[in-house]
A = this chain, B = another copy of it.
Amino acid sequence: MKTNAGHFFEDFHVGQVIDHATPRTITEGDRALYGAIYPTRFALPSSAEFAASVGLAAHPVEELVGFHVAFGKTVPDVSLNAVANLGYAECRFHVPVVPGDTLRTRSEVIGVKENSNGRTGVVWVRSTATNQRGEVVVDWARWVMVHKRDAGAPAPATVVPDLAPAVAAADLVVPAGLDLTAYDTVAAGEPHRLGDYEVGERIDHVDGVTLTDAEHMMATRLWQNTAKVHFDTGARPDGTRLVYGGHVISLARALSFNGLANAQLVAAINAGAHVAPAFAGDTVHAWSEVLDQTELDAPGVGALRLRLVATKGRDESMTLRGDDRKYAPGVLLDLDYWALIPR
């Protein structure tokens, strides 16, 4: 059989390294499509002049472009037979991605744990994307629940990796040259700087976008993500096409411009949960909560730790969880990340 059947749980072992196909060159076409599919307006990826004005040597695309491309490469090897994408941790953005860069991704299996049902198991991988110079662009850990090929196969020794609940502020990478001391808030669209945000503050990003199948499929293909459920109405019993979770992340991040216009760069993703599936016809809104804030050791640069919540329909009460500690109805995404912002 020449086609890829994906890996099953018993195909993974701790220490295994997988070099993922296929390398992909980022272009200005990706920037344009990202801006056509998501309502992003962050000044730095929008404007080469703005990027130069804050000290960057070239004009990076949004960090999530690099993340999605890097992530997409892991799907055929890691999650083609996944039951669920369980979580992310320790995701850091290193060297910015600029048009002309070619990304490839390598993963190492860092944990395995068979489930008590004997039919599935959890696999932890740490993935690292590098550019054509071998520089790390982004790395992250994620864990997925994967089917066993054979329920009778013996369970491996359980290894559960020790993952940090959040990237420490001291571990955030500031792009080389970034200097926000002469930051232009007028061009950026809002006056709010690091010190204007308080821990615990919540921001309703107001706007909503109703999903279409054509748009989420185009985005997901752009990242060379091959999971059938996003493209083939025959892949799910109800004939719906499941929206790639990363589509909701990018959409919510773009919507967060309205209130967080100066949170220009994503520096790290601490944790993320795709709480509920999204489909064409759903209208996605977003709100954010400020979890932490800190100054960084780069001129004019601070960082906000934010919880970004995407919801189906607008929730002006911005409720994450009900009294039962379960996610409130309508919550689609709960993402914990660090963004760089001018002090």
Q: Give complex CA distance A192, B21 in Å.
A: 14
A218-B27 CB under 8 A given contacts A210-B233, A224-B46: no
Residue from B29, B38, B102, B222 within 8 A of A27 (CB atoms): B29
Residue from B38, B50, B232, B258 within 8 A of A209 (CB atoms): B232
CB contact list, A167-216 vs B, under 8 A: 186-190, 192, 196, 203-210, 212-215
Interface range, A side: 35 or more
Q: Give complex CA distance A31, B59 in Å.
A: 19
Residue from B25, B186, B207, B261 within 8 A of A19 (CB atoms): B186
- Determine whether A47 belongs to the interface, using a CB cutoff of 8 Å to chain B: yes
Interface centre among A206, A212, A221, A313 (most CB of B within 10 A): A221
When all copies of this chain in the complex are counted, the total is 3
A36 partner residues in chain B, CB cutoff 8 A: 33, 218-219, 221-222
Is the beta-carbon distance between A208 and B222 smaller than 8 angstroms?
no
Is the beta-carbon distance between A3 and B218 smaller than 8 angstroms?
no
- Determine whether A143 belongs to the interface, using a CB cutoff of 8 Å to chain B: no
Is the beta-carbon distance between B28 and A46 smaller than 8 angstroms?
no
- Determine whether A317 belongs to the interface, using a CB cutoff of 8 Å to chain B: no
A314 partner residues in chain B, CB cutoff 8 A: 234
Is the beta-carbon distance between A27 and B32 smaller than 8 angstroms?
yes
- Determine whether A49 belongs to the interface, using a CB cutoff of 8 Å to chain B: yes
- Determine whether A24 belongs to the interface, using a CB cutoff of 8 Å to chain B: yes
- Determine whether A305 belongs to the interface, using a CB cutoff of 8 Å to chain B: no
Is the beta-carbon distance between B35 and A32 smaller than 8 angstroms?
no
A46 partner residues in chain B, CB cutoff 8 A: 22-25, 224
Is the beta-carbon distance between A207 and B221 smaller than 8 angstroms?
no
A1-12 vs B, Cβ < 8 Å mask (1 yes, 0 no):
011100000000
Q: Give complex CA distance A231, B2 in Å.
A: 38
- Determine whether A283 belongs to the interface, using a CB cutoff of 8 Å to chain B: yes
Q: Give complex CA distance A31, B28 in Å.
A: 10
Q: How far is the CB of A71 from chain B (nearest CB, A)?
A: 14
Is the beta-carbon distance between A28 and B224 smaller than 8 angstroms?
no
A296 partner residues in chain B, CB cutoff 8 A: none
A234 partner residues in chain B, CB cutoff 8 A: 208, 210, 283, 313-314
Q: How far is the CB of A69 from chain B (nearest CB, A)?
A: 10
- Determine whether A277 belongs to the interface, using a CB cutoff of 8 Å to chain B: no
Q: Give complex CA distance A32, B35 in Å.
A: 13
Q: Give complex CA distance A292, B37 in Å.
A: 40
Q: A23-B43, A30-B32, A37-B218 are in contact. List 8 more A-B contacts (CB 8 A).
A: A4-B190, A21-B189, A22-B50, A23-B46, A33-B36, A48-B102, A48-B132, A104-B187
5 A–B contacts from the bound complex (CB under 8 Å): A23-B49, A24-B46, A27-B29, A210-B232, A214-B214
